[in-house]
């Protein structure tokens, strides 16, 4: 595997290097969308507030992660009382 693909794989996977982490995938996707929207706004002359976008995406990722953490005990195979 070349260095570029290994780097991308290391960014998107967990500590085992094989299982993809949803949080990391969402982070990269949000970053790429933000950059594309910023470039598009510069080319077309439209206004785009990257900081407001980042705050909104951050809030969504934070609340989504908190919700997953709160419901993790209800998943099948979860340890009770842990």
| Mean pLDDT, the chain, whole residue set | 85
User: In the prediction, which pLDDT does 81 show?
Assistant: 55
What's the whole-number mean pLDDT along residues 35-63?
94
Q: Is the pTM of this model over 0.75?
A: no
> Looking at the predicted structure, is the pLDDT value of residue 53 above 60?
yes
Q: Using 50, 70 and 90 to split pLDDT, how confident is the model at 19?
A: confident
User: In the prediction, which pLDDT does 78 show?
Assistant: 57
Phi (first) and psi of residue 3, to 5 degrees: -65, -40
Domain coordinates of the chain in residue numbers? 3-63
Question: In Å, how far from its chain's centre is CA 15?
Answer: 16
Residue 63: both structure tokens together: 């609340």
User: In the prediction, which pLDDT does 79 show?
Assistant: 63
């Amino acid at each position: 595997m070349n260095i570029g693909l290994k780097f991308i794989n290391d960014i998107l996977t967990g500590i085992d290097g094989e299982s993809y982490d949803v949080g990391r995938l969402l982070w990269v996707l949000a970053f790429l969308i933000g950059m594309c929207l910023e470039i598009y706004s510069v080319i077309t002359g439209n206004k785009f507030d990257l900081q407001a976008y980042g705050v909104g995406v951050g809030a969504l990722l934070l609340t989504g992660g908190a919700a997953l953490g709160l419901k993790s005990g209800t998943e099948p195979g979860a340890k009770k009382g842990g």
